[in-house]
Structure 1
Amino acid sequence: MGGLFLRKGVVLSLVVVLLIGILTAGCSNQNAQNTDANGENISFPEGPVTLIAWGSPGGGSDIFARTLAKASEPILGKPVVVENKPGGGGATAMAYLESQKPDGYTLLAVTTNLVLTPLTKDTPNTYEDFDPIIMIGRDATMTAVKANGEITNLEDLIALGKERSIKWGTFGVGTTDHIAAALLAEQTGIKVDFMPFEGGGEALAALLGGHIDVINGNPSEIADQIKAEQLAGIGVFSPERLADFGDVPTYKEKGYDIVVETWRGIIAPKGTPDQVKNILFEAFKEALDDEAMKDYYKKNNIIKDVKNGDEFYKFIEKENNFYKEVLTRMGLIK
């Protein structure tokens, strides 16, 4: 009988030892993720993190920054404060970020303008001056026309563009919507008169009023008009169809190899420690599963595409080379 109790005691002791070993190993792995090159523990963040939005309050970049900031606060354990620094298509915010300490406490929410602005404007900074943290997704670019009008699909658009010049509204020169239309004109030979507007509201009003034939825009910006059957989407410059607009074909499936999207992500000053960048990446990645972020993706028709810092840098580099070549052909840069 005593031997039986002894054996049970030995088994119980072994189980306890194994559990302690597993828990200790787990703690050791967690600590290893937050150590510097010398093996010392890093406590980050120890205070508020500032996330710069280079758009005005209420704009696309601002909404992106504020939604991600709120979702990441519980994970980082510190406030994430959004500051707006609009101007120069992002140039003002880029210059400010470069002037900050590379300690992870000041970050910038970016879009494709990270490469487009330096290519088309005289700015002191380029993407090479910063360390990418995370890419979170891609905004689609959709071609829209007035519902029940002269153009009802891509075939109509191209046929009409060979008869007369298409009046194509854009949100500026060298913007993604402008570039997408220019690439289509290049591949199809259609005639296009580009008509730049100050903002999306003006372009929409011109399209609804019959003053222009077509625009390219973010689906979320024209969704209400499409649902009200005032506008119709006829093409998407993405590799795949959009979940909320499944009846709108991609240009690729129609035989035109054109993909032009607006991507979004977070960058930091050059020289930010790798351990800090890793902590930020993991926190932001986890924040993407927050219900508010899921709603942000769905509401804005953003395609979730997560890349870490190294992957994001290679992606940005590829995008920069692509747009540099296209803008040179368009005569917008020399």
Structure 2
Amino acid sequence: MRISKLAAVTAAVLTIPLAACGAGDSGSGGGGAAAGEYPSEPLDWTIAFGPGGGNDIMARTIVDILQQEELYPENIEVQNREGGSGATGWGYLLGQAGSGYGISTTSGSFITTPLQADTGWQPTDFTPVGLFATDDALILVPGDSPIQSWEDWVAAAQADRLVVGGIGTVNVDFIVSSLLAEQSGYEVEYVPFNEEGQLQTSLLSGAVDAMVSNPGSILGQVEAGEMRPLITTADERLDVLPDVPTTEELGFENIPSMPRGMILPPDAPAEAQEWWIETMQQVVETEQWQSYIEDNYLTEDLRWGEDFRTYLTDTQEQFRTILEEQGAL
């Protein structure tokens, strides 16, 4: 049985110093592009959510690979800047327009938050690096809940309006919860959280009846018996959760997964974008990244530069349609 090696995370605001790896060296320290002026300054890395969630885990995995492979020659300062379903963190990155030394990883909220709030930015305003993977969801109840299966959940939700928690106000978690409720014939109250720790605490304390999360964030609690997964949006049953049915096999349609990628500030220098594309193309080939994909049950989906920008445009329109149909916009 595989256990996610990244389930434990660090504090909400953490600075990770990376030892300089020979900024003037033309060897591996230069990363993807040929040695030049970029990169020659510390990197300001924003995680737009709190610790413990899929965005946080992916970002810290990438930073760890950059360190171990000596791909970035200066320090990388990583901070969780959560709030507003990602609007705070990505708004901070927006303020670094024109710079090549701000960076952030993305999630579904990067696409959905501008649809329901005046963020002052759209996903395509930022400089795209790449899409790396999609992250499937689980619906979970407390381990001591009398609800043992998805069928039990549907029956309970039809009898009484239950509460589901997720990350972000109008995010992929909200979309997944809403579509499952609509297609199953029940109504649910959705409560948003900014970070995974608060969400998990709320489930275990009984403040919410169920939660939406991803395997990489929650497998430890499942294996400890603290939480019970009822259904997954994965294409196939996960080998670590062989008894948990998929949405597809239960007849659900058009249930999305969480897209995970990387962006630079708006109007970042072309050399910075090119360097990061080439460097991340190295990162995703490393053994550590492949282990991260496998251990966290992500589906690899690689789209670089303008292909990622096109993906953001198309996916936002798809999400807009779903949210309008759900009455969320």
Q: TM-score range by the shorter chain?
A: 0.7 to 0.9
Instruction: Identify the range of structure 1 (243-252 vs 136-145) with the bigger mean alpha-carbon deviation.
Output: 243-252
In structure 2, stretches of 5+ residues that fail to align are: 1-31
Q: Could you say which residue in structure 2 is the equivalent of 1:5?
A: none
Residues 112 and 316 in structure 2, CA contact (< 8 A), matched pair in contact too: yes
User: What is the 5 A alignment of 1:183-222?
Assistant: 183-196=179-192, 199-210=195-206, 212-222=208-218
Aligned-partner residue type, residue 257 of structure 2: E
Superposed CA RMSD in Å reads 3.0
Q: Could you say which residue in structure 1 is the equivalent of 2:24?
A: none
Q: In structure 2, do the counterparts of structure 1 residues 43 and 103 end up closer, same or farther at CA, with 3 Å as the change threshold?
A: farther
Of residues 59, 62, 70, the one that matches 1:65 is 59
Instruction: Identify the range of structure 1 (288-297 vs 319-328) with the bigger mean alpha-carbon deviation.
Output: 288-297
Of residues 73, 76, 89, the one that matches 1:78 is 73
- TM-score, normalised by the number of residues in structure 1: 0.75
Higher relative contact order (CA 8 A, sep 6+): 2
- TM-score, normalised by the number of residues in structure 2: 0.76
Q: In structure 2, do the counterparts of structure 1 residues 172 and 286 end up closer, same or farther at CA, with 3 Å as the change threshold?
A: closer
Of residues 62, 84, 89, the one that matches 1:88 is 84
Residues 49 and 86 in structure 2, CA contact (< 8 A), matched pair in contact too: no
Using the alignment, how far apart are the partners of 1:294 and 1:197 within structure 2? 29
Q: Could you say which residue in structure 2 is the equivalent of 1:12?
A: none
SS of residue paired to 1:254: coil
Q: Could you say which residue in structure 2 is the equivalent of 1:18?
A: none
Q: Could you say which residue in structure 2 is the equivalent of 1:45?
A: 38
Shift of 1:210: 5.0
Using the alignment, how far apart are the partners of 2:42 and 2:285 within structure 1? 20
User: What is the 5 A alignment of 1:146-165?
Assistant: 146-147=142-143, 149-165=145-161
In structure 1, stretches of 5+ residues that fail to align are: 1-32, 35-40
Q: Size of the alignment, in residue pairs?
A: 295
Instruction: Identify the range of structure 1 (266-275 vs 278-287) with the bigger mean alpha-carbon deviation.
Output: 266-275
Instruction: Identify the range of structure 1 (42-51 vs 182-191) with the bigger mean alpha-carbon deviation.
Output: 42-51
Shift of 1:257: 0.9
Instruction: Identify the range of structure 1 (315-324 vs 185-194) with the bigger mean alpha-carbon deviation.
Output: 185-194
Q: Could you say which residue in structure 2 is the equivalent of 1:139?
A: 135
Instruction: Identify the range of structure 1 (256-265 vs 85-94) with the bigger mean alpha-carbon deviation.
Output: 85-94
Residues 48 and 81 in structure 1, CA contact (< 8 A), matched pair in contact too: no
Deviations 1:279-300 (A, max 9, x none): 3212112112334434433443
Shift of 1:198: 6.1
Using the alignment, how far apart are the partners of 1:240 and 1:171 within structure 2? 24
SS of residue paired to 2:249: helix
Residues 55 and 86 in structure 1, CA contact (< 8 A), matched pair in contact too: yes
Using the alignment, how far apart are the partners of 2:191 and 2:102 within structure 1? 38
Deviations 1:55-79 (A, max 9, x none): 3674443443333134235464522
Residues 115 and 316 in structure 1, CA contact (< 8 A), matched pair in contact too: yes
SS of residue paired to 2:218: helix
